[in-house]
Amino acid sequence: MSAANWIQLAVTLGVLFSLAPFLGRYMARVFEGERHPLSVLNPVERGIHRICGIDPSRGMDWKEYVGALLALNAAGFLSLMAMLMTQTWLPLNPQKACNMSWHLAFNTAVSFMTNTNWQAYSGETAVSNLAQMAGLAVQNFLSAATGMAAALALIRGIRATPAAVPRLGSFMRHFASKLHGAGQAPPVEPRSVVKSATLGNFWVDMTRAILYVLLPLSLILAVLLVSQGVVQNFSGPLKATTLEGKEQTIPMGPAASQIAIKQIGTNGGGFFGVNSAHPFENPTPFSNFLELLAILLLPVSFPFLFGRMVRSPKQGRALFAAMTALFLLGLAVILAAEYGYNGMSGGAGSMEGKETRFAISGSALWAEFTTAASNGSVNSMHDSFSPLGGLVPLANMMLGEVIYGGVGCGLYGMLLFVILTVFLAGLMVGRTPEYLGKKIEAGEVQLSMLAIVGPNLAVLFLSAAAVATKTGLSSLANQGPHGLSEILYAFASGVGNNGSAFAGLAVNTPFYNILIGIAMLVGRFVILVPAVAIGGRLAGKRPVPAGAGTFATDGASFTVLLTAVILIVVGLTFFPALVLGPVIEHFLALRGVIF
């Protein structure tokens, strides 16, 4: 790497890690209902509550919270699928985009509803301007806010202190009820000893996430992108004549606004088919820097939000340290692999599949950023990376997108591993495991294991279904271990709600549209619902004071143990598949064998 490459890396990470604590504290103030720099918009929030019939003072238990979340997501899915299947007959369609087939519309609607943004089509030709703005962009906001809300519910459950309610004898209950009937005593809850704290109000969390966080950041980024030459208009495709005298179609449309929220909300779907490698989507080095920063800005801020909300900044820093250790490990491996010896060329490094203006370092850095978050935008073709270079994005997604993860999703995914780690630590010291004063019992561990193991099994079983059928294999562009990597990557991307593609796999078929759609649903809700349920269980537990045998969860020892647990659990699950794919391909490539 040149000195300029090192400077690019240092500046990008330096700005990112400097901004994250401030943004984390700002978001904590927003969601705690405290005064913050955008409190001037409070009348807008109150107006939204009145119009929608939302009572901000009414808390929800975990079942109500999940019910509201699922209802909103179901409505978004159905409306988006209907829009995509009828877009030919709707206005704002200068591209003359055709109605999508039912299986492609299903896949796309699931994709954007789950914050995956997997795309089996080229956005500039297959989707109308109306569907881009009123369909895809709206889901970009809602899906990102949904992840944030789920993380907030779990945080509130961890920190909650339930209210104690006195247990009364039958005579006293009767006496108290008589007094209350005469207007002389407040009502009591005679059968409860502890009344669980609520997890907040889903609708309030959604409103605040969009109004105070996602909209302002997206507006700022969209204006900056337009200043760099990213297109933002309502025009149809333009026809131009090249120097060779040939006709070229130049796509137009409301790209900057879509790109801003896709990066800020870790959505990732591109307005253009080649995503952030397109000069209209990512035209300059500064736009590349802005989009890189936007990909991880909110996910990196969430550990600091967590520390602020649980009243222990050291706890947030411990999670940030574990995430960053995994991130830097992946970045080191991918840079070494892409700059290392190439068996096919006989030299160091390879520019295959990479933009000259981004070169090796810019492409490798983006690949690590986009798969460390559940973002999925790309500025190069991961299919053309070296075998070990392609293994890193694949492994990042197989980790469950917990390195920093999606907006909110990365934090609650990491907290599930925290619960598992605390449980294992408790077994080692012979003490009931605790986290922030809450006892971790069988129910929390079972839900955590469901959320960790379920998506991993989905990746393996769905990949096996593709490998074992002629229909699945017929879409491959490459054979051998590289072909297996393409299939593994597609399902890991779907389950991880990432959305990036390895390329080389034709996925716009009923087989892949349906299976990858199922993968995205599993990856989203088999993690999200147990996470909120754990928040509900913890909200009903009274904190216990720390003792001599309490395992500290805010120090280096816990960070190391947490990182090791993540690597061991995921490694044991996926090691055989990775050996048959990118690992064996690496050794064959050293001998000049390609697929």
Domain ranges of the chain: 163-195, 382-590
pLDDT of residue 344: 64
- What pLDDT was estimated at residue 430? 72
Residue 350 pLDDT exceeds 90: no
CA pseudo-torsion sign 209, 215, 218, 220: negative
Instruction: Give the residue-averaged pLDDT of 171-188.
Output: 50
Position with higher pLDDT, 213 vs 401: 213
pLDDT of residue 307: 96
pLDDT of residue 565: 94
In this predicted structure, the answer to whether residue 1 has a pLDDT above a threshold of 80 is: no
Asked if the model's pLDDT at residue 137 lies above 80, the reply is: yes
CA dihedral 490, 146, 123, 220 (to 10 degrees): -120
Please determine, for residue 513, whether its predicted confidence score (pLDDT) is greater than 90: yes
The model's confidence at residue 226, banded by pLDDT at 50, 70 and 90, is very high
Q: What is the three-class DSSP state of 239?
A: strand
Q: What is the pTM of this model?
A: 0.90
Q: Which residue has the higher pLDDT, 341 or 75?
A: 75
Minimum mean pLDDT among 38-47, 97-106, 503-512: which range?
503-512
pLDDT band of 195, cuts 50, 70, 90 = low
> In the predicted model, is pLDDT for residue 177 greater than 80?
no
3-state secondary structure of 393: helix
Quick check: 184 pLDDT over 70?
no
503 vs 468, residue with greater confidence: 468
Mean pLDDT of 547-560: 85
Mean pLDDT of 531-560: 88
- Give φ, ψ of 195 to 5 degrees: -105, 115
* One-letter amino acid for residue 495 of the chain: V
Report pLDDT for 426. 84
Counting Cα atoms < 13 Å in the Cβ hemisphere of 43 gives 1
Q: Would you say 319 and 306 are in contact if contact means Cβ atoms under 8 Å apart?
A: yes
Which of 388-402, 469-483, 536-550 is the least confident region? 536-550
Q: Is the pLDDT of residue 336 over 80?
A: yes
Cβ–Cβ contacts within 10 Å for residue 285, how many? 13
Rounded CA-CA distance 556/562 in Å is 10
Q: What is the mean pLDDT of residues 338-351?
A: 75
Across 349-359, average pLDDT: 83
Under 8 Å between Cβ of 286 and 128: no
User: What pLDDT score was predicted for residue 166?
Assistant: 52
Distance CA 76, CA 96 (A): 24
The mean pLDDT of 473-481, rounded to a whole number, is 89
Please determine, for residue 190, whether its predicted confidence score (pLDDT) is greater than 50.
Answer: no
The pLDDT of residue 340 is: 84
pLDDT tens, position by position, 142-164:
999 999 999 999 999 999 877 65
Q: Which amino acid is at 362?
A: G
| pLDDT confidence band for 551 (50 / 70 / 90) | confident
Query: How much of the chain exceeds pLDDT 90, in percent?
Result: 66
Query: Rounded to an integer, what distance in angstroms lies between the CA atom of residue 276 and that of residue 260?
Result: 12
Indicate whether 189 pLDDT > 90: no
Burial of 368 (0-12, 13-18, 19+ CB in 10 A): buried
Site of tokens 């980024």: 221
Residue 489: CA atoms inside 13 Å, Cβ hemisphere, count? 29
Predicted confidence at residue 193, as pLDDT, reads 47
241 pLDDT higher than 70: yes
**What's residue 275's pLDDT?**
85
Mean pLDDT of 312-318: 95
The mean pLDDT of 390-419, rounded to a whole number, is: 93
- Residue 329: per-residue pLDDT: 95
Give the confidence band of 188 by pLDDT, cuts at 50, 70, 90: very low
* Mean pLDDT value of segment 173-200: 55
Res. 224: pLDDT tops 80 = yes
**245 Ramachandran zone, left/alpha/beta (phi>0; psi -120 to 50):** left
pLDDT, mean over the chain: 89
Least confident among 9-13, 65-69, 349-353: 349-353
β-pairing verdict for 194-195 and 163-164: antiparallel
Tell me the CA end-to-end span of the chain in Å, nearest whole number.
28
